[in-house]
Amino acid sequence: MDVRTHMSMIFHLDKCIGCHTCSVACKNLWTDRKGAEYMWWNNVETRPGTGFPTQWENQEHFRGGWERKKGKLDLKLHTRLEGIFKLFYNPSLPGLRDYYEPFTFDYQNLFNSPKKDVQPIAEPISMITGDPIDIETGPNWDDDLGGSNIYAKNDVNLEDLPQEVREQMNELERLVFNYLPRICNHCLNPACVAACPSGAIYKRDEDGVVLVNENDCRAWRMCVAACPYKKVYYNWNTGKSEKCILCFPRMETGQAPACAHSCVGRIRYMGVLLYDADQIPTAANVPDDELIAAHREMILDPFDPKVIAAAKENGIGDDWIESAQNSPAYKFVKEWEIALPLHPEFRTMVMMYYIPPLSPVVSVTEKSLFRLDLMQEDYDFELFDRLDAARLPIKYLANLFSAGDEGTIRTVLRKLLAVRIYMRRKTVHGKVDSVSRKTLAEAGLTEEQAIDMYKMTTLPTMEERFVFPNYHREMSIKAILDPLTHKGEVGLGYIQQPKRGE
Amino acid sequence: MEVKHKIWNSVGGRSFVILLLSGVLLIGSFFQAAASPGFQSSDEGKDIFEKNCVSCHSIGEGSLVGPDLEGVLDRRDRDWVRDFITIPDQIIVSGDPIALELLTEFNNIPMPNLGLTEAEVEALLVFLEGGESVAPVADAPLPEGNLDRGSAFFTGEDVLENGGTPCIACHTVGSVGPFGGGNLGPDLTRVYGRFGEAGLTGVIKDIAFPTMQGIYVDKALTDQEIADLLTFFATVDAEGEEGVADSATTTFWIIGLLGSGILFGIMAFYWPRQRETLSDRLRRDAGITSRRHS
């Protein structure tokens, strides 16, 4: 057992209101630079939809992630030999038109326009060429099902749904969507790291943040093509690749990443997960339907004395172990087993998890007319037993979060519904009846767990949502250099010392 | 901890201190300014001569690469000598009769611009006025040179011991290399004949050309390397043909232009046949044609 620590984020999709505050916070903090205009280290997608870049999940086109061949894991992008031949021509690489041409508007014209018979307008301008453009698409062009006949209809995850279900989802009264915020998943088996010919990408030891060393990056852009989530971006100005850094400078000072901190719906949780690094190769190489179980198996119980002993042997401090014990991530992923990785079939072993959304308000048919109705208990129970009636097809969620395994999604949704029913009985009716207890038991939850889940979902404090250990950066300096050697130095340019005349 | 400066705290005291300091600085700067042009000694001039001139000139020991400078100030106008030391290249170009005559007399080897400052030239003149005689550098004889090694040092196949840049970076010689050498410096095919063995040795040892000085400042060639290079230059002078590199450059251009033409041709064919992006394909399937990319 090789115990390691990881900072993981949980996205509670039921709470996401699709406001894009996370994206804007991230953009303002990190990617508001020349060459980074088109990058959205954090973006929010409407589902069903094609996401950003368009149809990024279509790995037949983009060839990201890993492939299982003859019991061995290989990059889907290319073998080593193919990689050499594709060094200068890599057709799987997304181009700017796969993302969008970043634009702004000529606002000055509103102020400086000469007197005319018509109102001046702010013309759209390309942020790359500076020329006026016709905006064709954007990072969330299909937001809230905009242009759904083009985008939502072509969602890759709808592919193996029966045709009549797909048609139903297009009917006005049955339209349904939810939001999917995405950042870099800081995978345990990152395809970007594996694909980099320069060895410029690495996974940080203490918290698992995957980082690009910009000094080593030589702009091969293999990472951009190999990442199945398309979360490494190429900066055309600096000629280096860039990606989400999980706001490590903020985490090191005990603050939540900008996207999580600014989240209006408070959908994001963060905490330490302990995992067994020895299990990564086996857990990434199991058949599709065992992926979730193997992934959960790899996450270790921070209360287990054996795990604690092994962690200490690996040099993990008491405060990190304690932080792992208080981690909301551990509760959601392992204790309640309701948080799932996004697209586990890409086999990169992602460390960001999603709690799948319960469908929005059920629509019922009455006298052959559709009526949006507030859920009554009957419908609650009906849905609990007949999840297939949910507006968002189970198969669709399964394609997103469990490599197509509907059973996993059913279990999770039944848990979420059981807690909802139980708490409604308790707060609205004032007492818990045997029926709601039975639902809980059927979903595999105890009453305490239900109450904990309810509290963690609805009423968590900032400190409960974000549990950060001390990073001890002073120790990592000490590990490399005696701190006294820095005494008398300027304290600037730790990596590249300032030199006169250079 | 607070230190009380009594003088600084009163207005009068403060002005006094400032005035005093300005006075000190002002007087100091006068001395500094006065100190610069004076004090030129013939010692200083001798140093400069031994460093820069002695590889080509002697005083009272006969002509080498350049003329014997004994009594040069009696033969020539002092101002002319000063100008010729400072900017010989410009004076030769301007067609000065004395300069041209000297050029013809000394095998068309022009005096290089040494980049000396006005003060250094002045010191040199003071030294020449003194009439002290200076013998040419009498170094230990060079070891036996080797043609192959010399050729390898020239082309950079063998690394010069002190890390100096190989000659080919700036010079071409005979028919070296498929495309000749660099053309920042002159063609060295006939250099052995022009400078002679002693002159060439001196020029390589105490480099007189400002461009080369900077490059070899801490990377002087060893005696063995110089000997090897001399053997190489002697052979090339006897056998080589000048101007081979020029025709090679033409070949280089033709191959380069043809090659890039072919590459652009291939690109022109494949550029419009690039894979369509999924985003464009979705819009095209839906019948939306963009105004720019239709």
Is A94–B288 a contact, with Cβ atoms under 8 angstroms apart? Answer: no
pLDDT of residue B195: 80
ipTM of the complex: 0.81
Q: How confident is the model at residue B1 (pLDDT cuts 50, 70, 90)?
A: very low
Q: How far apart are CA A471 and CA A412, in angstroms?
A: 33
pLDDT of residue A208: 94
Task: Judge whether A275 and A298 are in contact, CB under 8 Å.
Answer: yes
Task: Judge whether A410 and A294 are in contact, CB under 8 Å.
Answer: no
User: Two tokens at B83?
Assistant: 């100008």
Q: Tell me if B292 is assigned to some domain.
A: no
Say how many C-beta atoms besides its own lie within 10 A of residue A24's C-beta: 16
CA distance B292 to chain A (A): 8
pLDDT of residue A378: 58
pLDDT tens digits, residue range B218-257?
Answer: 888 888 999 999 999 988 888 877 766 677 778 889 999 9
Averaged pLDDT score across all residues of chain A:
89
Number of separate helices (H) and strands (E) present in chain B? 14, 0
Decide if B273 touches A, using CB distance below 8 A: no
Averaged pLDDT score across all residues of chain B:
80
Q: How confident is the model at residue A377 (pLDDT cuts 50, 70, 90)?
A: low
Closest-CA residue to A217 (of A234, A231, A203, A204) = A234
Q: Tell me if B142 is assigned to some domain.
A: no
pLDDT of residue A416: 93
Decide if B280 touches A, using CB distance below 8 A: yes
Lowest mean pLDDT segment, chosen from A52-66, A294-308, A367-381: A367-381
Task: Judge whether B130 and B49 are in contact, CB under 8 Å.
Answer: no
In a 3-state reduction of DSSP, which class is residue A269?
A: strand
Q: How far apart are CA B45 and CA A342, in angstroms?
A: 81
CA distance B119 to chain A (A): 28
Q: Tell me if B247 is assigned to some domain.
A: no
Residues B22 and B109 in one domain: no
Task: Judge whether A317 and A454 are in contact, CB under 8 Å.
Answer: no
Say how many C-beta atoms besides its own lie within 10 A of residue A202's C-beta: 15
Establish whether the linkage from the previous residue to B112 is cis, with ω within 30° of 0. no
Q: Do domains A1-13+265-471 and A14-171+181-252 have the same CATH topology?
A: yes
C-alpha count within 13 angstroms, C-beta hemisphere, residue A47: 26
User: What is the mean predicted confidence (pLDDT) over A432-441?
Assistant: 89
User: What is the mean predicted confidence (pLDDT) over A384-412?
Assistant: 89
* Residues of chain B positioned with their CB less than 8 A from the CB of A95: 277
pLDDT tens digits, residue range A141-194?
Answer: 999 988 888 899 899 999 889 998 888 888 776 788 999 999 999 999 999 999
Is A54–B290 a contact, with Cβ atoms under 8 angstroms apart? Answer: no
Is B278–A91 a contact, with Cβ atoms under 8 angstroms apart? Answer: no
Is B282–A50 a contact, with Cβ atoms under 8 angstroms apart? Answer: yes
Search chain A and give the residue with CA nearest B286.
Answer: A150
In a 3-state reduction of DSSP, which class is residue A16?
A: coil
Q: Tell me if B19 is assigned to some domain.
A: yes
Say how many C-beta atoms besides its own lie within 10 A of residue B224's C-beta: 16
The highest-confidence range among A135-149, A388-402, A442-456, by mean pLDDT, is: A442-456
CA distance B259 to chain A (A): 18
Which CATH number do you get for residue B59? 1.10.760.10
Is B282–A150 a contact, with Cβ atoms under 8 angstroms apart? Answer: yes
Select the residue from B266, B278, B288 to test the A interface by mutation, using most A Cβ atoms within 10 A: B278
pLDDT of residue B37: 47
Task: Judge whether B276 and B289 are in contact, CB under 8 Å.
Answer: no
Establish whether the linkage from the previous residue to A162 is cis, with ω within 30° of 0. no
Tell whether the model's pLDDT for residue A465 goes beyond 80: yes
Tell whether the model's pLDDT for residue A72 goes beyond 50: yes
The angle at the Cα of A298, spanning A292 to A301, to the nearest 5 degrees, equals 115
Q: Please name the amino acid found at residue A316.
A: I
For residues B291 and A349, the model is more confident at A349
Considering chain A, what percentage of its residues have pLDDT values greater than 70?
A: 90
User: What is the mean predicted confidence (pLDDT) over B109-137?
Assistant: 78
Is B288–A50 a contact, with Cβ atoms under 8 angstroms apart? Answer: no
Tell whether the model's pLDDT for residue A379 goes beyond 70: no
For residues A385 and A321, the model is more confident at A321
pLDDT tens digits, residue range A248-261?
Answer: 999 999 999 999 99
In a 3-state reduction of DSSP, which class is residue A75?
A: strand
For residues A11 and B182, the model is more confident at A11
Residues B151 and B220 in one domain: yes
Q: Domain range spanning residue B102?
A: 42-130
Task: Judge whether A302 and A324 are in contact, CB under 8 Å.
Answer: yes
Residues B183 and B105 in one domain: no
Q: Looking at the domain covering A14-171+181-252, what would its CATH class be?
A: alpha beta
pLDDT of residue B97: 85
Q: Tell me if B270 is assigned to some domain.
A: yes
- Provide the CA B277 distance to its chain's centre, in angstroms: 55
Q: Pairing relation of β-strands A352-355 and A3-12?
A: parallel
Residues B31 and B46 in one domain: no
**Residue of B279, B283, B290 with shortest CB distance to A134:** B290
Is A149–B280 a contact, with Cβ atoms under 8 angstroms apart? Answer: no
Tell whether the model's pLDDT for residue B7 goes beyond 80: no
Domain ranges (residues) in chain A: 1-13+265-471, 14-171+181-252
User: What is the mean predicted confidence (pLDDT) over A464-481?
Assistant: 79
How many domains does chain B fold into? 4
Is A55–B288 a contact, with Cβ atoms under 8 angstroms apart? Answer: no
- Provide the CA B62 distance to its chain's centre, in angstroms: 28
Is A134–B292 a contact, with Cβ atoms under 8 angstroms apart? Answer: yes
Q: How far apart are CA A310 and CA A278, in angstroms?
A: 12
Q: Tell me if B115 is assigned to some domain.
A: yes
Tell whether the model's pLDDT for residue A458 goes beyond 60: yes
Q: Is A259 left (phi over 0), alpha (psi -120 to 50) or beta?
A: alpha
Search chain B and give the residue with CA nearest A141.
Answer: B279
Is A61–B280 a contact, with Cβ atoms under 8 angstroms apart? Answer: no
Domain boundary among B130, B159, B186: B130
The hierarchical CATH code for the domain A1-13+265-471 is: 3.30.70.20
pLDDT tens digits, residue range B68-106?
Answer: 888 888 888 888 888 888 888 788 888 888 888 888 888
User: What is the mean predicted confidence (pLDDT) over B43-61?
Assistant: 78
- CB under 8 Å to B114, separation ≥6 — which residues? B52, B85, B208, B210
User: What is the mean predicted confidence (pLDDT) over B19-38?
Assistant: 68
User: What is the mean predicted confidence (pLDDT) over B173-186?
Assistant: 80
Considering chain A, what percentage of its residues have pLDDT values greater than 90?
A: 74
User: Two tokens at A168?
Assistant: 């139903």
**Residue of B275, B280, B282 with shortest CB distance to A154:** B282
User: What is the mean predicted confidence (pLDDT) over B22-44?
Assistant: 66
Task: Judge whether A292 and A298 are in contact, CB under 8 Å.
Answer: no
User: What is the mean predicted confidence (pLDDT) over B103-111?
Assistant: 77
Q: What is the DSSP string of A135-171?
A: ----TTTTGGGTTTTTTGGG-GGGTTS-HHHHHHHHS
Give the CA radius of gyration of chain B.
31
- Provide the CA A195 distance to its chain's centre, in angstroms: 21
pLDDT of residue A482: 67
